[in-house]
Structure formats: structure tokens, C-alpha cells
Structure 1
Amino acid sequence: MTRDVSAETDATDPVDDATLALLVEVAGTPKPGNVDRRRDLDDLRFEAFLGGAVGARSGLELAAETGPTTGEPPVVGDAFDRAVAGMADRAGTNTQFGCLLLLVPLVRAAADPDRELSPEGLDAVCRSTTVEDAIAFYRAFERVDVAVDDPPPGADDLDVRRGSDAEPALREREMTLLDVLALSADPGDPETPEDPERVPDRNAAEWTEGFPRTFRAAEWILSDEGPLADRAARAFLGLLAAEPDTLVASTQGAETAREASAWAREILEPDERDPKAPVGDVSAVDADAVHGADLDAAESLAEEFVAEGINPGTTADLTCAALFVALRGGAEVAP
């Protein structure tokens, strides 16, 4: 039985919950291949993520605001750009770029009295984005280094690595932020749309699909027991087992990304006849398997991933987003 997380909304400030989600996500351990409270990476330290969470707050506050007279939300892109700038200033590096890309529309939906924190509410927020949002999104790429794939065929002028230089192309094509992310969510070659080697951008897909991974993982967290950080670590394993990680695919290739997901699934379902068979999507992951995940076994996998440089950062982004929805649905850090 799953809970309708969209039907329960806590009275706390959504900005507080977003900040707490950023903090609990990095505190959860083990999250194989990622920074957590027990391990750093060579170029990233635990405390940098704490700084990034604090620095991002002003952007999250902007996402939660409404206009003084019209009630219209602020530019989503500006809120994201401000959050990234604050993160970079306080952390000194890119710690939570992908988390913020998911949190900004989530905070917007949670703060808007005319919308709900639901797939429908998120769809409305994402569809309301404009060309100005897209321009601000591109500007954020000038603030930190972000691992991204090459743009889809015929879209070189929309390469996010161009930053503000892409503004003329965005205006000429009238590309909203949702339009840009739709390209990232499905960047395949039109002549080979079913390319089996392609790993889609999971964060971009959340924007175009109504945040299914976020809400499913939030259900796992809400129906789980124990410390919230442990629940987050188990949800991370569930998300990784469900689908290959985008960042791993970008940095180490699709085959490595699929192998990483297979290893996570072995922890969730060690008695399966073929534990390396792909799950396919997040809805196919059994909640009981997530709740029963062996975190001791995940510790060993974490050491292996760090040694191999396998960093499922997109899975961490989705875990953070799920934590926000779970906190809005009543999850607590208190025992």
C-alpha cells in the first residue's frame, strides 16, 4: 500500500524543508559513490555540501515568493540561477546543481496557494516557464562546472556550455526552460530514436514527466522506518537500481552506468534468479525491497564505487527531491 504524498502538506516553510532536504541527502550513508557524512571524494568534501545548502537558500526563497500585486510567481530561472550562485559562493564548487534544478519547481509548487505539490502541480509550474527562464538557466552554467553530454543533433547553438552566449538562439527559437529540458530528456538521434546505449537525463525527464521518480521515492521514504538519513540512503539504492545514472553515463559511459544499477539491484534483491536483469523504471521497484536494503552491503559497494570513480550524482539529486516531498508529507528528523 502506498501513501498519497501529494494529499498531505506540512505547515512548515517549504524553503526550510528544501534546505533540510539538501542537508539530509548528503548526511545519508552509504550512498555508493557519493559524498556522505562518512566519506569525501578527492575533489569534494562533506562540509562543502553543507555550505552549498546554506548558500542556495536565497534562490529557494525567491522560488517561494509571489508578486506583491499580481500573485504571479517570480521567474523560475532567476530563482535557480540565484540558488546556484549562492551555492557556488558558499561551497566554492558545484555541490548541488542538479538538486536545485529539481527543488526550485518543487518549492514553487509547494508555496503557491493555487497549486498542489503533486504531479499535476509540477506540470503546471514547468509549463509556465518562459524564454527568460531558459536564459537564466543557461546563465547558471557560467557559475560552476557541470558535467553534460553534447547537445542533440542540430542543436549546437543550444549547448548549455555556451552559457549566456546561447541567448540569441534561445530567443530566435522561442525556447522555454521546459523546451530546453525536453531536449535533454530525449536527446536521441531522430534517425535512431531507440538507441539502446543512450541513458536519458533523469533530472530533465522529471520536468517533462511530472516528477515520477521523485514522488515514488518519497513514498518509499514515508513508508519506511528508522532515521530519516537511513531511509534516504535506502531510497538512493532503490533509485539507482531502477535506472542507470545520468552522471555516471556522462563521465564513464552507459555500460558502466548500467553495471552500477545492476550492483545496486543485487543489494536490494540478492535472492533474485537474475539480479542483474534491468528493472526498467522506478515503478517496478518493490518498496519492501527498498526498506530491506542491506546498508552494510552498500558500505562495501560505496568503497568500490569511490575507488573506481563511479559517482551516481543524478541519483543523489533525485533522492534530495524525494526527501523534500517526504518532508512536506510529514516525514520528520525527530525520533
Structure 2
Amino acid sequence: MTRDERGGGADAVGPVDDATLALLLEVAGTPKPGNVDRRRDLDDLRFEAFLGGAVGARSGLELAAGSGIDAADPPAIGEAFERAVAGMADRAGTNTQFGCLLLLVPLVRATADPDRELSPAGLDAVCRATTVDDAVAFYRAFEAVDVAVDDPPPGAAGLDVRRGSDAEPALREREMALRDVLALSAESGGSAETGSGTATDSVDPDRVPDRNAAEWTEGFPRTFRAAEWILTDEGPLTDRAARAFLGLLAAEPDTLVASTRGAETAREASGRARAVLEPGGGDPAGPIGDVSAVDADDVHDADLEAAESLAEAFVAEGVNPGTTADLTCAALFVALRRGAEVAP
């Protein structure tokens, strides 16, 4: 049952409230191997920084929802994302939830837009409606924080996000909307099409694609699948989130781990998560391969006590599956909008 079906929910608890709560629940879930949670800090990142980031991002999320603004002419999605990141960075003092916000902003927009809905089709429509101005704002957001990213695909050096606003001429010359930019990162091999229709050179087929970018181009399949796991699970939402995190990591290698430690380490990390999810079953050497192949019962039965040792090992080894945490946050938002409650 959704908030609307329970009566008055959309008025009493809006999408911005649920997005903020999703940010807080994600970091409070434990164990999420290799990530900050309520029991673990990293050397350079503390739990409370994420709480500050969630509060600071709110003004950008409100912009995404069109709060207090003419709903018929809401602010651009890129502007909303840029403001959310700037607020996060200002309050947290660092990058805590950049990837979460990249997913939450279109989710909030789809929820708040009377012409859209919180569904794969609704999200696809929101993402396809983005513009070159949205892409420029997205690039400017990188100037507020330090984000770990791979080098751009061959032939796309001018579109390196680390250039920030300096990339604007290249974006406008190639007529790259925000979805076009993210499509480049989502590609795992072959050719990546630019907004002007010019193909770049081949991309390394062994690289781990950007899972957050893939959500933008595929209709958020990981987000909606993990939301189903959370909704059909039992117990505290923070425990459900931790189990969903394990399911997502077991399914596919984490983008942040691949960027910071290499693709092989990322695949090994997924295999280790799978060994926790499916003790004694299957080949733990690598990921399952697709989020749709993960059995919901395996997620619901995941042993969080067994995951504690993996969490300690990942922290000690510097394996930080941050992109998986982003997807977990997005899934929590969808679950909250569809009726999940923090109350017993």
C-alpha cells in the first residue's frame, strides 16, 4: 500500500521528507561491508558527516520536488542536483552522498511531477527530458566535492567531469544532455554515442560500468528490485537495508571499488558478498551477474552477524562499495513511498 492509498500520506509525508529519511536510514543500516554505518567510521569519513549531508541536501531536494514553486514550471533537474550537492558539501564538509543524490533527485522529481509516476517508465521519462543546461549544472556540482571517477572513455577527454564548468563548451558543442553524459559512463563496452551522434572509440570491455549512470539509462531496475526486497522483508528498516545492500553487492561489482581498487578487486568483493548471501551455494568467486537473478529469499535470509566479519575485513582492506550504498538509498526511498514504515 502506498502513502496515497493509506490516505493523506502524500500531504503529511512528502517526497522530500522520504528522500531525507532514506539518506538517514541508509547510513544507519549495519553492517554494510566497507561503508560508514552507525557502528563504523572510516579513517577520513565519520557517521555524523552523513547526517549533516542529509540535512544540507534538503534544499536541493525541495527544488527537485518543486516545493513552493509553480508545479507547471519546476526548476531544472540539474539545478536541483547542483544545489543538493552544494548543500551536502557545505553541511558535511566533504562528499558524503553525491551518488545518492544523483539517484534521489530524479526519483523525487518523478514522484512530485503530476505528469510522471514513480515507476521505471516515469523515471525514464524524467531522465530523457534532461537538457544540456542540466548537464552543465551536473558538471558544476563536481567543483563542490571530490568524487572518485574513472578516466573518460577514449575520444571523450573534453567531457571529463573533473573539468567542472570548463567542460561547458564541449557539452554545448556536442549537444550533450545530462542523460547523454551518463550514458557514456553506463557503457561497458563497444561504442558510446554522444548527444550529437558521434561515436567515441571502443571502451574497455573489462571495465566495470557506472551502476548509478546505468540506472539513469535503464529505468532504475536495481533501485526498484531492491525496493521490492525491502518491502517484502521483515524487521527494522535499517536491517532490511543492510540485507538489500548485500544483495546488490552480490549481484554486480561496485563502481567505486572498481575506480579506487580495480575491476578485479570489485569482482572479488561481490563474490565475498555472495558467499555471505548464499553460504555453501554457487560459486563465490564472482558476482551473480544481474540483479534480477538474486533470489529475494536469499536476501531476506542473509545472516547479518556473518556479514559483520566481512564488514571488518573490507574496512581493513580499504574496500568501499559506495555505489552499492547509493543504490540502497534509492531503494529505501521507493520503499518508503510505497508504504514502508520506520514505526513497528
Corresponding residue of 1:102: 103
Structure 1 residue 198, shift from structure 2 partner: 1.1
* Residue segments in structure 2 that go unaligned for 5+ positions in a row: 192-200
Q: Name the stretch that deviates more: 66-75 or 282-291.
A: 66-75
Taking a change above 3 Å as real, the CA distance of residues 144 and 8 of structure 1, as seen in their structure-2 partners, is farther
Task: Pick from 322, 331, 334 the counterpart of residue 322 of structure 1.
Answer: 331
Taking a change above 3 Å as real, the CA distance of residues 268 and 8 of structure 1, as seen in their structure-2 partners, is farther
**1:107 and 1:209 mapped to 2: Cα distance?**
17
Q: Secondary structure at the match of 1:38?
A: coil
**1:8 and 1:237 mapped to 2: Cα distance?**
30
Alpha carbons 1:220, 1:290 under 8 Å: kept: yes
Alpha carbons 1:5, 1:325 under 8 Å: kept: no
Alpha carbons 1:244, 1:257 under 8 Å: kept: yes
Say yes or no: does 1:87 pair with 2:88.
Answer: yes
Structure 1 residue 73, shift from structure 2 partner: 2.7
Say yes or no: does 1:282 pair with 2:291.
Answer: yes
Corresponding residue of 1:36: 37
**2:261 and 2:3 mapped to 1: Cα distance?**
36
* Residue segments in structure 1 that go unaligned for 5+ positions in a row: none
Describe how 1:136-175 pairs up with structure 2 within 5 A: 136-175=137-176
After superposition, the C-alpha distances for 1:127-158 in whole angstroms (9 at most, x for unaligned) are 11000000000000000000000001111000
Structure 1 residue 274, shift from structure 2 partner: 2.3
Corresponding residue of 2:271: 262
Q: Secondary structure at the match of 1:207?
A: helix
**1:225 and 1:330 mapped to 2: Cα distance?**
13
Instruction: State the one-letter code of the partner of 1:220.
Output: W
Corresponding residue of 1:48: 49
**How many percent identity over aligned positions?**
82
Structure 1 residue 74, shift from structure 2 partner: 1.4
Instruction: State the one-letter code of the partner of 2:273.
Output: A
Alpha carbons 2:81, 2:102 under 8 Å: kept: yes
Alpha carbons 1:66, 1:72 under 8 Å: kept: no
Alpha carbons 1:66, 1:74 under 8 Å: kept: no
Q: Secondary structure at the match of 2:115?
A: coil
Structure 1 residue 5, shift from structure 2 partner: 7.9
Structure 1 residue 278, shift from structure 2 partner: 3.3
Structure 1 residue 188, shift from structure 2 partner: 3.5
**1:143 and 1:193 mapped to 2: Cα distance?**
28
Alpha carbons 2:154, 2:203 under 8 Å: kept: no
Q: Name the stretch that deviates more: 24-33 or 264-273.
A: 264-273
Task: Pick from 209, 219, 226 the counterpart of residue 217 of structure 1.
Answer: 226
**1:56 and 1:194 mapped to 2: Cα distance?**
35
**1:299 and 1:5 mapped to 2: Cα distance?**
33
Corresponding residue of 2:195: none
Corresponding residue of 2:197: none
Task: Pick from 209, 213, 216 the counterpart of residue 207 of structure 1.
Answer: 216
Alignment root-mean-square deviation, CA: 1.8
Instruction: State the one-letter code of the partner of 2:318.
Output: G
**2:231 and 2:317 mapped to 1: Cα distance?**
32
Structure 1 residue 113, shift from structure 2 partner: 1.4
**2:202 and 2:172 mapped to 1: Cα distance?**
28
TM-score normalised to structure 1 length = 0.95
Instruction: State the one-letter code of the partner of 1:116.
Output: E
- Aligned length, in residue pairs: 331
After superposition, the C-alpha distances for 1:160-214 in whole angstroms (9 at most, x for unaligned) are 000000001111111000000000101646465672x210000000000000000
Alpha carbons 1:5, 1:219 under 8 Å: kept: no
Instruction: State the one-letter code of the partner of 1:203.
Output: N
The one of the two structures with greater contact order (alpha-carbon pairs below 8 A, sep at least 6) is 1
Corresponding residue of 1:299: 308
Corresponding residue of 1:309: 318
**2:51 and 2:305 mapped to 1: Cα distance?**
25
**1:182 and 1:156 mapped to 2: Cα distance?**
15
Structure 1 residue 271, shift from structure 2 partner: 2.3
